[in-house]
A and B are shown apart, each in its own frame.
Chain A
Amino acid sequence: MSTLTGSAGRESRRSILPWLAVPALLFFVGFAVVPLVGVFVLSFTTWDGIGTIHPSGLTSWRAVLTNPGLPHALWVTFLVMAVSWAVQTPASILLGTFLAGRQRYRAVLSLIYFVPLLLSSAAIAVAYRALLDPNFGLGAGLGFEWLSKDWLGRPWLAFGVVVFVVSWQFVPFHSLIYQGGVQQIPQSLYEAAQLDGAGQIRQFFSITLPQLKYTIITSSTLMVIGSLTFFDLIFVLTEGGPGDATRVLALDMYKRGFQADLMGPASAIAVILVLMGLAIALLLRRLGGRDAGESQLEGA
């Protein structure tokens, strides 16, 4: 901006830096931090989404905590989180290790793997609904009995479909993360292991897996926190059904808030979501044993 030089320049430089962060902060505070506080406040009110907002103490919380829907939604959320983690993590590590090889065809494969990430969750859900249609979908068309089930009409099948489609969408992303992680493992470790006569499987468990520790934590964190936000996919795929078999918390919040016009209880559920996200992040950070601020200081 100005053309100050010398020590005066250093002074002005020192003063402009904080200002550079202000625009980002304004947006972030305005549409993330304020809403975060707001959702907490709104959980102590009654509001139908259009009319005026009335403070109502613990009414909304009482309504949510005594509603049998909550433990169920928590359970489904946890189950989706745990099962999709357990499916995606081994698959992503395996694929990431595979993709880290230097053959050209693997690079080509990784390009194809990435395509599902380009599709919106809505598009994927719409396509899978058609694909899994018991009467006109892929299974029925091919005449495969085992494929033409009422996939979205039965609780456990629908749950399985949700986990499968989530994995279909996100395993590619996580295998890329693992690919990057594997490529950073020093080659000398493998050479030393080979000299010691360790086979491939032994090398995988004794070198690759331990060296991927931080990558596993990164990927798991993204997976687990991401699973709290599976809304659009489940909303379009099953609408939480059949019954409430796939009604996760985020969906529960939407339905109570925007469909049943109970914004107070919906806000209480949102607060629970926030707390879960924070708790999980802190837990995983502790597992990681490194602090973000410190490691960034090292890098600075």
Chain B
Amino acid sequence: MTTTLTKPHPQKTTPRERGHRPGATARGRNWLGGLAGWLWLAVVVVPLYWILITSLKARSNYYASNPLVPPTDPTLDNYQLVLESDFINYFWNSVVVTAGAVVPAVAVSFMAAYAIVRGWRMRFLRVANGMFLMGLAIPLQATAIPVYLIIIKLQLYDSLLALILPSIAFAIPLSVLILANFIRDVPKELFDSMRVDGATEWGTLWRLAAPLTRPAILTVTIFNALTIWNGFLLPLILTQSPSQRTLPLALWTFQGEYGVNVPALLAAVVLTTLPLIILYAFGRRQLLSGLTAGFSR
């Protein structure tokens, strides 16, 4: 996979070419694509819409009404029910695990990516880079059992730290890859002039490379936050007590408890997703452009 995840190429068309040439939109003007586009919109939107309106229905109403017609008297009772359970606790655990893993993961990945780009001639750094790349090809779930063993040996079983440490490790390969791709685009002259000014490598890292690659850092941060917030396997195998549970796992247990109360279950689904929707509302441009640049070619 790594073969193709190299440099994000700059846009090859000039602004002048984009809008006004006769053929400019030819690549986008195909009816088959258009049909697929609208069809897919329905495939995506109908279930989301159904989740949302059902979560606003009274339980008694759920079985009686047409599932795609919004409730005549929307109620927040389901949300109240979910919030009155241990939801706040699970929510807080998810926040702690996500923040506790993403911040260090991005920081150490950035430092490593910087070192790999700037010190490419050093054998040690190339070996390190090779290891991170290998990490991309390995389904890290396959390491679940030894991770479980390590966490037990560290006496961290059933704690939030047990979730944080492996999450950091699993976030590193892709983060390093994306960040290195962007740091590589910083013009060499800038590094040289920092050196002439007497800046240390540490200073260059934080005062030159970090600000210039801010979009990439943001992308990686959002992407890792998404992955870790939604993580399921690690909480499943590394925690036991409800007090250490994170949201995705709590949802799964809700399914057992509220099995028959579908509106409440879907309210829980909406509530666990809400923080990400809000994050997306603010960071969407960043996330979309960062991902397309980070992954394509």
Interface residues, chain A, with chain B CB atoms under 8 Å away:
1-5, 9-10, 12-14, 16-21, 23-25, 27-36, 38-39, 42, 49, 91, 94-95, 97-103, 106, 109-123, 126-131, 133, 136-138, 141-142, 168, 171-173, 176-187, 190-191, 194, 200-201, 203-204, 208, 214-215, 217-219, 221-222, 225, 228-229, 231-232, 235-236, 250, 253-254, 257-258, 263, 266-267, 270-271, 273-274, 276-278, 280-282, 284-285, 288-293, 295-300
Contacts and interface: CB of A to CB of B under 8 A. Distances in A.
A187 B149 contact: no
A200 B138 contact: no
A119 to B, nearest CB: 5
A31 B147 contact: yes
A101 B29 contact: yes
A109 B137 contact: no
Interface of B: 1-7, 9, 11-13, 17-19, 21-30, 32-34, 36-37, 40-41, 43-45, 47-48, 50-51, 54, 62-63, 65-68, 105, 107-109, 111-112, 114-120, 122, 124-126, 128-150, 165-166, 168-170, 172-173, 176, 180-181, 184, 195, 198, 200-203, 205, 226, 229-233, 236-237, 247-249, 251-252, 254-255, 262, 265-266, 268-269, 272-273, 276-277, 280, 284, 287-288, 291-293, 295-297
Contacts of B130: 293
Contacts of A295: 3, 6-7
19 contacts: A13-B195, A20-B115, A21-B124, A28-B173, A35-B145, A36-B146, A38-B150, A111-B284, A114-B287, A115-B44, A122-B230, A138-B50, A177-B292, A177-B296, A187-B23, A187-B24, A200-B29, A201-B30, A215-B296
Contacts of B124: 18, 21
A138 B53 CA distance: 12
A225 B37 contact: no
Contacts of B29: 101, 200
A23 B111 contact: yes
Q: Give the secondary structure class of B's interface.
A: helix
Contacts of B276: 118-119
Contact of A228 (B32, B139, B170): B139
Q: Nearest 10 pairs between A and B by C-beta?
A: A101-B28, A180-B292, A38-B146, A98-B33, A31-B169, A180-B296, A120-B230, A281-B137, A221-B1, A141-B67
B50 to A, nearest CB: 6
B144 A127 contact: no
